[in-house]
Amino acid sequence: MKLSSNSKTPDVPLYGLRGESIVCFAGEDWWYHHPHSKNHLLKRLAKENRVLFVNSITMGLPSISNPDFFLKIRRKLRSLVRWLRKVPEGLYVFTPVSFPFYGSPVLRKLNQILLVLQLRLVMLICKIDKPIVWAAIPSAVDVVEQLGAKMVVYQVSDKYDANEDSALSQNIIREMDRRLKQLAAVVMYSGRKLYEESEVPHCYFLEQAVDFEHFAREAPEAPEIENIPHPVLGYFGFMDYVMDVPLIEEVATRRPDWHWLLIGRKSQLVQIPHSNVHFTGPVPYASLPRFVRHMDVCVLPWRKDHVFTSYGSAIKVREYLASGRPIVMSFLYEYRNTPGIRTYQTTEEFIAAVEDALQNDTKADRYLRQDTVRDCTWEARARQVGEMFRKLLEAPQTKYCAMADVALSESGIEHLQPLPRV
């Protein structure tokens, strides 16, 4: 067996899979979002496989009355201008032209034809044939069925039918979701609550991970924010209807000496005209640790009254943990047993938790938080996913779904049986 040039171990795939093609229908655009799990995993798998990342084909437009309607249209048009690009991470990123009108059978069929023609052309350009098709958005189902996939996998990251970004009927979203689950060799759930409520037998808990070294390092502070007075409550990521704007406004009023550092793109729904609330706009992922350095407490002020957020598995919480900073966050089922996190239900509890973090957090607390995620890296997750795909491909083609459990158990990957509804 061939040995690698810099190792005495057999030349095995870095991430369990080599020489395959992967087409991923993402639920977001590569260009405009804080990296999701697919970004982290696919850029690693792209080192030894040919990967095409298809920017979101959406689940339909939001209502025209939505304050972000034209903002989303402009952003998508900017992606369309780029069409097909090979990015520095080694994979291809493609933004297809589509008509996201899934409520009309006629327009939906036309959209399917348009997308399939574009995908086949782009796959030809990228030299992709018989790919593993990775669907991460329910609306991809009409296209997935037409691409001659070697294998279909379905990643469920959110409670899709509770998403406010689409005016599409919940029934249509659920039907798309049902069909994809039937097509998939394995259904990968990125949220613990989603996984535990699943009724499909061929499922896998794809737990979120973190670039630990990236966020744990003590980076020099970003000069753009060095004049923001302490204490600083920090948040990064896209800000839309999930944000608890009334809480932020009330805390900003009651604690004018506390300054909020909010990093990322924001919706028109998030308007907070307080002098101690600072919006920086988007910051490159590579620079985030320099901004986190200025934060005294990392916060997750998400709405508590929304079904969508209750299923959230926010990767940023793991990035907060890796930084070691104190964390005050709205309760999420995903992190209910995570040590070193302070949660709240009311504004009073939020204020009390921040005060406690500012006054009583210790070095031991910092190390505890970091140790919680130290080994939960995207490197490890990518190897798990690659090995799982390889094992499923080795199973007889007609038995992918039936063989999912066997393939997973043979790979040595933790595979949890679905739990009863909670």
Q: What is the pLDDT of residues 161-210, one digit of tens each?
A: 766 655 577 888 889 999 999 999 999 999 999 999 998 999 999 999 99
Question: Residue 250 and residue 252: Cα distance in Å, rounded?
Answer: 5
Classify residue 260 as exposed, middle or buried by CB count within 10 Å of its CB (0-12, 13-18, 19+): buried
Give the rounded percent of residues in the chain with a pLDDT score beyond 90: 67
Give the rounded percent of residues in the chain with a pLDDT score beyond 70: 84
| Cβ–Cβ under 8 Å, residues 339 and 4 | no
Extended beta strands in 64-214, E state: 84-86, 92-94, 132-135, 151-156, 186-189, 203-205
User: Does residue 283 register a pLDDT over 80?
Assistant: yes
pLDDT band at 267 (very low <50, low <70, confident <90, very high): confident
Average pLDDT over residues 381-386: 97
Listed by start position, the domains of the chain span 21-209+383-411, 212-373
Fold match, 21-209+383-411 / 212-373: yes
pLDDT at residue 91, rounded to an integer:
96
For residue 168, what are the CA distances in angstroms to 58, 68, 138, 165?
A: 10, 16, 12, 9
- Helix 378-394 and helix 400-411: axis angle, to 10°? 130
pLDDT at residue 79, rounded to an integer:
65
Q: In this predicted model, what pLDDT tens digit does every residue of 20-70 receive, in sequence order?
A: 999 999 988 887 767 899 999 999 999 999 999 999 887 555 555 566 555
List the strands of the sheet with 277-281, edge to edge. Answer: 277-281, 259-263, 232-236, 297-300, 327-330, 341-344
| Cβ–Cβ under 8 Å, residues 262 and 278 | yes
Q: In this predicted model, what pLDDT tens digit does every residue of 311-344 receive, in sequence order?
A: 889 999 999 999 999 999 999 999 999 999 999 9
pLDDT at residue 163, rounded to an integer:
66
pLDDT at residue 401, rounded to an integer:
42
The length of the chain, given as a count of residues = 422
Angle at 26 between CA 24 and CA 28, to 5 degrees: 155
| Cβ–Cβ under 8 Å, residues 170 and 131 | no
Q: In this predicted model, what pLDDT tens digit does every residue of 222-264 receive, in sequence order?
A: 999 999 999 999 999 989 889 999 999 999 999 999 999 999 9
Q: CATH number of the domain at 21-209+383-411, out of 3.30.420, 1.25.40, 3.30.9, 3.40.50?
A: 3.40.50
Average pLDDT over residues 99-114: 82
Q: In this predicted model, what pLDDT tens digit does every residue of 119-171 receive, in sequence order?
A: 999 999 999 999 999 999 998 999 998 998 999 999 998 887 766 655 577 88
| Cβ–Cβ under 8 Å, residues 94 and 79 | no
pLDDT at residue 107, rounded to an integer:
83
Q: Is 419 left (phi over 0), alpha (psi -120 to 50) or beta?
A: beta
C-alpha torsion sign, points 422, 182, 99, 93: positive
Q: E strand or H helix at 25, and its extent?
A: strand 21-25
Its CATH class, for the domain covering 212-373, is alpha beta
pLDDT band at 397 (very low <50, low <70, confident <90, very high): low
pLDDT band at 4 (very low <50, low <70, confident <90, very high): very low
User: Does residue 297 register a pLDDT over 50?
Assistant: yes
More confident residue, 113 or 10: 113
Tokens describing residue 278: 């600072």
Contacts of 153 (CB under 8 A, 6+ apart): 132, 133, 134, 135, 184, 185, 186, 187, 188, 389, 392
Question: Residue 307 and residue 378: Cα distance in Å, rounded?
Answer: 28
Instruction: Return the SS3 of 86.
Output: strand
pTM: 0.86
List the one residue out of 49, 54, 50 whose CA is nearest residue 38: 54
Classify residue 86 as exposed, middle or buried by CB count within 10 Å of its CB (0-12, 13-18, 19+): exposed
Average pLDDT over residues 360-387: 96
pLDDT at residue 223, rounded to an integer:
93
Instruction: Return the SS3 of 155.
Output: strand
pLDDT at residue 403, rounded to an integer:
39
| Cβ–Cβ under 8 Å, residues 323 and 257 | no
pLDDT at residue 406, rounded to an integer:
40
More confident residue, 139 or 365: 365
Distance between start and end Cα atoms, the chain: 49
